[in-house]
Amino acid sequence: MNNCSRRLSLSVLLAAAVLSACLSQGLPKEFIDPPREFSVMPFWFWNDTLREDEIVRQIADFEAHGVYGFVIHPRIGLPRTMTWLSGDMIRFMKLAIEEAARRNMYVILYDEGMYPSGSSGGQVVARNPDHAAHGFAKTDLKPDQEFKVPGGSTLVRIITRPDGSRVAVTEQPSGGVIRGLHYLGEGTQKLREDTPPAGDILNPEAVTSFMDLVYERYYREFGSFFGKTVIGIFTDEPSTLGRGSARGIVPGNIALLGQVRKILGYDFSPYLADLWYNDTPLSAKRRADYHRAINICLEENYYKRLSDWCTGKGIALMGHPAGSMDIGAERYFQMPGQDLVWRYVEPGPKALEGQHSTMAKCASSAMIHLGRRRNTNELYGAYGHNLTFSEMEWLASWCFVRGHNLLIPHAFYYSVRGPRLDERPPDVGPNALWWSAYKPYADASRRLSWLNTDSKHVADIAILCEAEWLPDKPARTCFEQQRDFNYLEIRHLWENATVDSDGLHISGMDYSALIIDSLFTVPKKAKSKLKKLAAGGHLVINGKSPLAARFPKALVYNDPESLVAAINRLSTPDLELSPAAASIRYRHLIKGDDHFYMLFNEEDTEVTVHVQVSAQGNRQLLNPYTGEAANVGNDEEISFKPYELKILRVNNYFKLPPI
């Protein structure tokens, strides 16, 4: 027996021994060794000259480290002889998919070369220059000035403002681009990136072209793997204007104004100047109306069409919208997703404050209320070479305790040669210092993803939000008080939520408290249900909101303390800590006969507390990194190291082994 075989045999024996010990503690087999579908699935940057043997070698290396899937992501650094979806690129993709299938691994296809999505590496515009991203621009005119329409632009309207001045509104190309696949001038001091033109994803014809070039091509080449090895297609932060668009330009085009009119119920074209000016008391409202309508146009013209196509082919539309608060667009993803990049979130205030602090609950709440099974987070991108393994684990725990169940690490680099090393770093996989110790992290992620999937989330608080706005202040209060919640996009009130004397019910969730914090308008379709919630004592409103006066029967809060008091009037805490510990986050899940409490110490302090939970039964503390369990008494204190995540399992049916 050679050394490799001997090591493999020892590893198998050790794994079998651990499995036997864990099963003797009554642990579900799926927790100890979850199915491979719950693996992390990293971006795999194809960013240099590709070789068949190297692709196969790297896939084998992934598998050996507990990584059982990947996103094929053509990336900047490819040789200029390899263009987007060329024959050679398709050939290498097929090789990787076939190798993954042979190894019982999973693949996600990426829909752009490189991002934002919607341009097919510039091919959409190459087919038809009119399909470049467009928008509205304005030109201020003097009273008697004749306006000459610039070349390439189309006059929409000349509007006389209240002060007598005039403004010409034109439709024109935005000038936006995407990041391309090739370095220009590599090896010289004039290194730069190619920048293909962005496609107009608000234009249905341009989207049709994009889908034909990418989605239909993928199906022709790899359709036999769809729904098996290939589980989805990743669309990446689509942008209506593209990157680096002209200053002051606003998304839209003339053809879209009819769709905007249907959405708003009035013709917006006479008010186009309100996109730049506050000429009347209604200007701000009209501007908000327009952007809300454009958001719906993007949903209908882009996301919905891609979503319907994926549904028809038995795979998931994956990826994420452009904004951390874009919960409205999540409805078109079979796996709602978000993007944790550029150190948006770190230990400290950024974990709880600001728009990016809402992203994990954005995707997981959408998953629950839309009846989806999985939700994703693309995390670690551009966190820099100073990212540590401890930070990497912390960010994963931050995601898991908020309900994510598929992590897409950004990224594993095919190559770190030359400028590739510093392209949105770091490599968090094979080229990282921690690669030799990666498997316990991968195994823990697989267990936590399994735990967050096909389980019942226990929470009776919802925070009302809009398609692009998720309040972070009441969320922070709930987090620090261990009162778990979900965000509820307002459209659900008239789409699939019911209200009765017990509160609000949707997709198996029963909410006894609905919080309104910073919404300023409520659509007519939502008013009757909000009034019913208020009358039943289930509506809680920020006293500073202009809506408070419209729902006089609602409970009112003005600060975190009064918010907690209002919540406590409506529901009994599911979990209580003694002494109080604002750093502990929790998520309660019911899976089979088990209650699982995911407990995460989010701050850099040691915490020791008594944990009282609503579920009754024998208690174990589970280690997600080893799959092992330790008995814990009902009155026994639980200690947390800084940034430590533990799982408390409660069950009346399993028998504890003797201590």
Give strand pairing partners of 631.
620
Judgement on whether residues 494 and 389 belong to the same structural domain of the protein: no
Residue 275 lies in a domain: no
Confidence at residue 25, expressed as pLDDT on a 0 to 100 scale: 64
Judgement on whether residues 475 and 506 belong to the same structural domain of the protein: yes
Give strand pairing partners of 500.
503
Residue 392 clears pLDDT 50, i.e. is over it = yes
Give strand pairing partners of 599.
586, 646
Judgement on whether residues 438 and 526 belong to the same structural domain of the protein: no
- The enclosing domain of 581 has a CATH number of 2.60.40.1180
Give strand pairing partners of 594.
591
- The enclosing domain of 308 has a CATH number of 3.20.20.80
- Residue 409, classed as helix, strand or coil, is strand
Query: Quick one: CA dihedral 375, 381, 385, 386, positive or negative?
Result: negative
DSSP string, 439-465: HHHHHHHHHHHHHTSS-EEE--EEEEE
Residue 562 lies in a domain: yes
Confidence at residue 6, expressed as pLDDT on a 0 to 100 scale: 46
Judgement on whether residues 413 and 475 belong to the same structural domain of the protein: no
Residue 93 clears pLDDT 60, i.e. is over it = yes
Q: Which of 544, 573, 602 is the last residue of a domain?
A: 573
Separation CA 340–CA 411 (nearest Å)? 12
Mean pLDDT to the nearest integer, 599-603: 98
Give strand pairing partners of 177.
197, 243
Domain that holds residue 543: 459-573
The number of distinct structural domains making up the chain is: 3
What single DSSP character describes residue 300?
I
Per-residue pLDDT of 247-306, as tens digits, reads: 999 999 999 999 999 999 999 999 999 999 999 999 999 999 999 999 999 999 999 999
One-letter identity of residue 605: T
Residue 432 lies in a domain: yes
Per-residue pLDDT of 13-26, as tens digits, reads: 445 454 444 444 68
Q: 26: buried, middle or exposed (CB in 10 Å: 19+, 13-18, 0-12)?
A: middle
Residue 5 clears pLDDT 60, i.e. is over it = no
Name the residue among 153, 307, 314 with its Cα closest to residue 238: 307
Percent of the chain topping pLDDT 90: 91
Judgement on whether residues 236 and 339 belong to the same structural domain of the protein: yes
Separation CA 554–CA 516 (nearest Å)? 10
Most distant CA atoms of the chain, gap in Å:
93
Residue 557 lies in a domain: yes
Confidence at residue 656, expressed as pLDDT on a 0 to 100 scale: 46
Query: 76 near 182, Cβ under 8 Å?
Result: yes
Residue 97 lies in a domain: yes
One-letter identity of residue 319: G
Residue 274 lies in a domain: no
Phi, psi at 58, each rounded to 5°: -70, -40
Mean pLDDT to the nearest integer, 578-584: 97
Mean pLDDT to the nearest integer, 324-352: 97
Average pLDDT value for the chain: 94
* HEC profile of 30-50: HHHCCCHHHCCCCEEEECCCC
Q: If you search the block for the tokens 């293909």, which residue do you land on?
A: 196
Query: 594 near 28, Cβ under 8 Å?
Result: yes
Separation CA 304–CA 331 (nearest Å)? 9
Judgement on whether residues 384 and 436 belong to the same structural domain of the protein: yes
Query: 531 near 547, Cβ under 8 Å?
Result: no
Judgement on whether residues 368 and 491 belong to the same structural domain of the protein: no
Residue 8 clears pLDDT 70, i.e. is over it = no
Task: Categorize the per-residue pLDDT at 133 as very low, low, confident or very high, splitting at 50, 70 and 90.
Answer: very high
Name the residue among 469, 561, 573, 453 with its Cα closest to residue 512: 573
Judgement on whether residues 343 and 406 belong to the same structural domain of the protein: yes
Mean pLDDT to the nearest integer, 421-427: 98
Q: Which of 554, 573, 592 is the last residue of a domain?
A: 573
Judgement on whether residues 556 and 597 belong to the same structural domain of the protein: no
For 368, residues 6+ apart whose C-beta sits below 8 A from its C-beta are 403, 457, 486, 507, 508, 509
Whole-Å CA distances, 75 to 112, 113, 414, 424: 9, 7, 10, 11
Judgement on whether residues 587 and 563 belong to the same structural domain of the protein: no
Whole-Å CA distances, 295 to 61, 202, 251, 259: 42, 10, 10, 11
Judgement on whether residues 564 and 612 belong to the same structural domain of the protein: no
Residue 19 lies in a domain: no
- The enclosing domain of 487 has a CATH number of 3.40.50
Separation CA 303–CA 297 (nearest Å)? 9
Residue 657 clears pLDDT 60, i.e. is over it = no
Residue 444 lies in a domain: yes
Task: Categorize the per-residue pLDDT at 653 as very low, low, confident or very high, splitting at 50, 70 and 90.
Answer: low
Per-residue pLDDT of 96-127, as tens digits, reads: 999 999 999 999 999 999 999 999 999 999 99
Query: 455 near 596, Cβ under 8 Å?
Result: yes
Per-residue pLDDT of 36-81, as tens digits, reads: 999 999 999 999 999 999 999 999 999 999 999 999 999 999 999 9
Phi, psi at 646, each rounded to 5°: -130, 160
Separation CA 344–CA 357 (nearest Å)? 8
Judgement on whether residues 46 and 66 belong to the same structural domain of the protein: yes
Query: Which of 232-246, 320-334, 516-530 has the lowest average pLDDT?
Result: 516-530
Q: Which of 531, 550, 573 is the last residue of a domain?
A: 573
Mean pLDDT to the nearest integer, 150-165: 93
